[in-house]
Amino acid sequence: MFEKPFRVGHWIKVDNIEGFVESIGFRSTRIRTFYNSLVSIPSNHLVNSTVDNMAMRKLRAVRTVLHISYATPADKVEDFVTAIKQLVEKDPYTYKKWFRIRFDDFGEYGLCILVNFLLEILKLAENMDIEFAIPPRLPPVETSPHSKSACAEAGARQAGE
């Protein structure tokens, strides 16, 4: 603890606890988890644990798999993958030496595109008229040419727009 491996406001992981440091005291450190609970970790436990300080990373990797409709023509899938790569290459905040975007698999719900980066992809999909796959157990989502795609609407809801 004398090394001060983290400060208030840092995002840290200690064992199976992950969240933002709210306070650092002599006896314990309090972490607000992503479930909004407050966890107190005794200082003697912190001294003997590995602390992963996520706030001190130089780069942040993002990995996701996009599932698009099986009805998407192969040339459109290829164009979509190429356009995502171009987004990464043009964005000033991405690490250009390493990223991976490719058609990856035939998934349970749709065609799978592996993306080890994600920014502006929902807008790109909407502009290219790419529909994301919806699991068969969910009812189909109706969209009209004058409305946002279901995926874009879901993304806007998650972003708090």
pLDDT in tens, the chain (161 residues): 556 789 999 989 999 999 999 999 989 999 999 899 999 999 999 888 999 988 887 766 677 888 999 999 999 999 999 998 898 888 877 777 777 888 888 888 888 887 766 546 767 777 888 877 766 665 555 544 444 444 444 444 444 44
Which secondary structure element, helix H or strand E, spans residue 17, and what is its range?
A: strand 17-24
From the list 72, 88, 85, 90, the residue with the least C-alpha distance to 128 is: 72
0.85 cut: is pTM over it? no
CATH code reported for the domain at 64-159: 3.30.70
Give the fold, CATH level 3, of 11-56. SH3 type barrels. (2.30.30)
- What is the spatial distance between Cα 81 and Cα 116, in angstroms, rounded to a whole number? 12
The domain segmentation of the chain, as residue ranges, is 11-56, 64-159
